[in-house]
Amino acid sequence: MMKSAVIVTVYKRYNYIKQALDSILTQTELPDQIIIAADNPNNMQNIINTIKDDHRSAIIKDRLTIVKADYIKLGNSISEAIDRINDNIDIVFFLDDDDIFERNKIEHIKKIFEKNDVVLIHNRQKYIDVNSKEITNSVSMSYELAQPNEEIIINKNNVLYLNNRYPLIGFNHSSMTIKRRVLDKYIDLISDFELALDTVFYFISILEGNVLHIPNKLTYYRMGSGVSSYGNITDYNKFLENEQKIICTQNRFLKDFRRLYEVIYKCENCKKIIEVEILRKETCLYLLNNYFNCDYKASTSSYTSLLFKCIKYLFNNEISLSEFITHMAKLNLPLIYGKKKSSELILKRRFKRILK
Dihedral of CA atoms 69, 244, 145, 166 in degrees, nearest 10, equals -70
| pLDDT tens column, 216-263 | 999 999 987 665 455 567 889 999 999 999 999 999 999 999 999 999
For a pLDDT cut of 70, what percent of the chain falls above it?
Answer: 97
Mean of pLDDT values over 17-32: 95
In this prediction, residue 229 carries a pLDDT of: 54
Going by their DSSP bridges, the two strands 4-10 and 33-38 should be labelled as: parallel
Backbone angles phi, psi at 34, to 5 degrees: -125, 125
Q: How confident is the model at residue 354 (pLDDT cuts 50, 70, 90)?
A: confident
Convert 67-105 to b/e letters by CB count within 10 Å (16 or more is b): bebebebbbbbbbbbbeebeeebbbbbbbbbbbbbbeeb
pLDDT bucket at 315, cuts 50 / 70 / 90: very high
Give SS3 for 336.
Answer: helix
Distances (CA, A) of 210 to 117, 149, 168, 266: 7, 18, 17, 15
Percent of all residues in the chain with a pLDDT value above 90, rounded to a whole number: 82
Q: How confident is the model at residue 139 (pLDDT cuts 50, 70, 90)?
A: confident
Where b means 16+ CB within 10 Å and e means fewer, 290-301 reads ebbebeebbebe
pLDDT of amino acid 126: 96
For residue range 251-297, list pLDDT tens digits in order: 999 999 999 999 999 999 999 999 999 999 999 999 999 999 999 99
Residue 309 confidence class, pLDDT cut points 50, 70, 90: very high
pLDDT at 306: 96
Cα of 298 vs its chain's centroid, Å:
19
CATH 3.90.550.10 fits 4-222, yes or no: yes
Query: Which SS3 state, helix, strand or coil, does residue 278 take?
Result: helix
Domain ranges of the chain: 4-222, 236-355
pLDDT of residue 163: 95
115-127: pLDDT as tens digits:
999 999 999 999 9
Q: Dump pLDDT digits (tens) for 62-90.
A: 899 999 999 999 999 999 999 999 999 99
How much is the pLDDT for 54? 74
